Structure 1
Amino acid sequence: MASFTIEKRAKANGDFSYRCTVRVKENGEIIHRESKTFSKKEVARTWGKVRCDAIEHDSVLKSNKAVSIGNLLNLYYEDTDLWSRTGRTKRYVICMLMDCDISKIKSDSLKTSDLIEHCKNRRASGAGPSTIYQDIAYLRSVMKKAAPVWNIEANCHIFEEAVPVLMEMGLVGKSQRRTRRPTENELDKLKDGLLQRMSYRPNGMIRIPFIDILDFSILTCMRIGEVCKLKWDDLNADHKTILVRDRKDPRKKEGNHMIVPLLGGSFDIVMRQPKTDELIFPYNSRSVSAGFQRVRNELGIADLRYHDLRREGASRLFEKGYSIEDVAQVTGHRNLNILWQVYTQLFPHKLHDKFGD
């Protein structure tokens, strides 16, 4: 434990100086000593307190180089600079991991067998390989920050050994590539259901133009979060384009702005929206997707997500003859290979139409 003493000393000219000595003892023996002389006693006392606090803080870090994974996850949770930049899915997974048995393991003692046990427990609770893969990926992300951010030892290198084993065992895996598109009949039913939902509006409830937003989402291939952030100031009516700010990009989290053409009837949909706000669609994106999901469930339409409308829009562009580069200008994909893999193989039988079979 660190402590300090102050010794008053007389100078030759009759003035006094104050020598502050800081000592650190362990098991009754002095293991560290340092001192400094000041002209004023209060300055010496302040220096002694600051040095003792700093030494004890350093000793705590050194004696706790490893913490439980749960504590490490909590440090991430409490760090505003990290947490505020974390997406909803990762936030959910991190909070969930805090309640799992793996959170009790020391950060420097994590083994492949611990990860295998966690994955088996998650599988037993009904989670699929792609969902469990997120657990491992987000845990790895947090543990890689342990040393540089908090000076905590963490065995983050274990994932290089563990992930191939987990994949070979079938405990984790990449998500299946979706090919789901809504049929014309499903879209008609959805629009009828959404129209009924729009007509039923209790007092104080905001009327969301679900059908306009649904059609706009398909025509522009935009994510619902992007749709609900579009601004009137970013609309170029002469060119029929709009600036989409901060489009999703795994390599760049912010500043990924992109000018997108408003094709088909999407420009007309924008122009008939009332200018009551700086946003063109001033609605909560979660409320829009929740309304879509409720109508979908009531209609019994299986395995259709709002994000599938983005795939539907891109597929229509391909079917109209647009090139991959053209479609990427609308969807915002930087990796053209994704468009090739995901969108061009949706309905191979459509190729027959090009030959008139």
Structure 2
Amino acid sequence: MASYSIQKREKADGTVRHRCLVRVKKNGKILYTEQRTFTKYAAAEAWGKDRVIDIESNGFATEDTAPITLGSIISKALTDENIDSSIGRSKRFCLRLLSDCDIAKLNLTDIKPHHIIDHCKLRRSAGTGPSTIAVDVSVIRWLLRIAKSNFGHEVSQISVIEAYDALYSQDLIAKSGKRSRRPTTDEIERLKVGLAARADQRAAHIPYIDLLDFSILSCMRIGEVCRITWDDVDEAQKAVIVRDRKDPRKKAGNHMLVPMLGGAWEILQKQPRNDARVFPYNERSVTAGFQRVRNELGIEDLRYHDLRREGASRLFEKGYSIDEVAQVTGHRNINTLWQVYTELFPKRLHDKFKD
């Protein structure tokens, strides 16, 4: 029995897209899937209805006859429970973006290095940065890998591998640049004034200042802050369990007991206990409010995530060692913290030699 469903999705720039997913099921088993994304709900609905009628009348192509496109592998990945559960938010966003690109329409066996390069050129012409485009390439390579390992298609990653030299030499892709941005004392004070005014103007009150201070003192990502529950709070040790902490080697179950240093514990304790979560707010609403105030103040090149680096820097300045800071920030690989430390104290070896 063929059916369709439509999901509304909001992009980072605020525009809304509607993804129509057509499926054929029999006895609870999915026999066929197909999807397209539209800017208008009515267009998505019309396409879904037409495809259902066509499939009911004429049937659908089987695995043996249907061309296996990159887009079809994206659909399979997103509807496979084991794969979908291992995908993070960033990769899922990239997969949905790729599904709307021309490269998704190509048969897997037809993809050549120049197709990868053409895709990257199109992304660059749209204003996308090299480090973001590099994520596209990495995800395309991952799709080719699971097409073989998970779905049994005889395809190779060689097209991506052979494209790398050209992509790097033409500056179409690049590794993410290391950030060292810290807010100045003046910027933080101005942000607090602006955030307080915004909080007073909103019907749904968000304690922006508490969240900003807590984010710095705890060195947590805003998503981690907004996931803390009162059950996660350890009163005896003045610590909280941070669940599913980001780790490239482990997508879920990476829980850590993190000490609340400085004034973080006091900020946590003063929050009202009328919800299971300590900070029961949508992380996107918090960052959107921060960005709005930041832009109004004319503060340039400052991201909410930079507050995490600010917190780590303050701990180093107070004399905490790298392994002690890592216990707060949750870094498994201390190379990132080492870079922060060396940026703060570039002359430490000279000073030690003088002693």
* TM-score higher than 0.5: yes
The 1:100/1:348 distance shift into structure 2, 3 A limit, reads same
Residue 336 of structure 2 is matched in structure 1 by 338
Residue 293 of structure 2 is matched in structure 1 by 295
TM-score for the superposition, normalised by structure 2: 0.77
TM-score for the superposition, normalised by structure 1: 0.77
Q: Which amino acid aligns with 2:230?
A: W
Distance in structure 2 (CA, Å) of the matches to 1:351 and 1:305: 28
* Alpha-carbon shift at residue 315 of structure 1 (Å): 0.5
SS at the partner of 2:257? Answer: strand
SS at the partner of 1:239? Answer: coil
Q: Which amino acid aligns with 2:324?
A: D
Distance in structure 1 (CA, Å) of the matches to 2:85 and 2:263: 37
Distance in structure 2 (CA, Å) of the matches to 1:60 and 1:282: 47
SS at the partner of 2:343? Answer: coil
Between stretches 100-109 and 66-75, larger displacement belongs to 66-75
The alignment status of 1:179 with 2:177, answered yes or no, reads no
CA contact (8 A) 1:70 1:104 kept: yes
CA contact (8 A) 1:110 1:155 kept: no
The alignment status of 1:79 with 2:80, answered yes or no, reads yes
* Alpha-carbon shift at residue 77 of structure 1 (Å): 3.3
* Alpha-carbon shift at residue 348 of structure 1 (Å): 4.2
CA contact (8 A) 1:235 1:242 kept: yes
CA contact (8 A) 2:70 2:103 kept: yes
Distance in structure 2 (CA, Å) of the matches to 1:326 and 1:157: 43
* Alpha-carbon shift at residue 230 of structure 1 (Å): 0.8
Distance in structure 1 (CA, Å) of the matches to 2:103 and 2:270: 53
Residue 28 of structure 2 is matched in structure 1 by none
Residue 329 of structure 1 is matched in structure 2 by 327
Q: Which amino acid aligns with 2:216?
A: I
Q: Any gaps of 5 or more consecutive residues in structure 1? A: 1-56
Distance in structure 1 (CA, Å) of the matches to 2:102 and 2:234: 54
Within the candidate set 227, 241, 244, 2:242 is matched to 244
Residue 105 of structure 2 is matched in structure 1 by 104
Q: Which amino acid aligns with 1:271?
A: Q
Instruction: Within 5 Å, give how 1:11-22 maps onto structure 2.
Output: none
* Alpha-carbon shift at residue 282 of structure 1 (Å): 1.1
Distance in structure 1 (CA, Å) of the matches to 2:187 and 2:211: 16
Distance in structure 2 (CA, Å) of the matches to 1:350 and 1:195: 39
The 1:321/1:139 distance shift into structure 2, 3 A limit, reads same
Residue 90 of structure 1 is matched in structure 2 by 91
SS at the partner of 1:145? Answer: helix
Residue 141 of structure 2 is matched in structure 1 by 140
Root-mean-square deviation (CA, aligned residues, Å) is 2.5
Q: Work out which of the two has the higher radius of gyration on C-alpha atoms and give 1 or 2.
A: 1
Residue 282 of structure 2 is matched in structure 1 by 284
1:186-237 Cα distance to aligned partner (Å, 9 max, x none): 0000000011111113xxx321111111101000100001001111122122
Distance in structure 2 (CA, Å) of the matches to 1:100 and 1:233: 44
Distance in structure 1 (CA, Å) of the matches to 2:284 and 2:260: 23
* Alpha-carbon shift at residue 328 of structure 1 (Å): 0.2
Q: Which amino acid aligns with 1:320?
A: K
Within the candidate set 229, 232, 252, 1:231 is matched to 229
* Alpha-carbon shift at residue 123 of structure 1 (Å): 1.4
Between stretches 228-237 and 96-105, larger displacement belongs to 96-105
The 1:350/1:265 distance shift into structure 2, 3 A limit, reads farther
Between stretches 159-168 and 211-220, larger displacement belongs to 159-168
CA contact (8 A) 1:191 1:211 kept: yes
Distance in structure 1 (CA, Å) of the matches to 2:117 and 2:98: 14
1:12-68 Cα distance to aligned partner (Å, 9 max, x none): xxxxxxxxxxxxxxxxxxxxxxxxxxxxxxxxxxxxxxxxxxxxx9x943445x512
Q: Any gaps of 5 or more consecutive residues in structure 2? A: 1-59
Between stretches 186-195 and 286-295, larger displacement belongs to 286-295
Distance in structure 2 (CA, Å) of the matches to 1:99 and 1:327: 42
CA contact (8 A) 2:70 2:143 kept: no
Distance in structure 1 (CA, Å) of the matches to 2:197 and 2:348: 37
* Alpha-carbon shift at residue 260 of structure 1 (Å): 0.6
Instruction: Within 5 Å, give how 1:37-56 maps onto structure 2.
Output: none
Distance in structure 1 (CA, Å) of the matches to 2:152 and 2:313: 49
Distance in structure 1 (CA, Å) of the matches to 2:269 and 2:105: 56
Residue 305 of structure 2 is matched in structure 1 by 307
* Alpha-carbon shift at residue 296 of structure 1 (Å): 0.7
1:325-352 Cα distance to aligned partner (Å, 9 max, x none): 01000000000112112x1133447869
Distance in structure 1 (CA, Å) of the matches to 2:199 and 2:295: 16
Q: Which amino acid aligns with 1:187?
A: I
Distance in structure 1 (CA, Å) of the matches to 2:145 and 2:296: 44
Distance in structure 2 (CA, Å) of the matches to 1:167 and 1:89: 22
Identical columns (%):
51
Residue 255 of structure 2 is matched in structure 1 by 257
Residue 206 of structure 1 is matched in structure 2 by 204
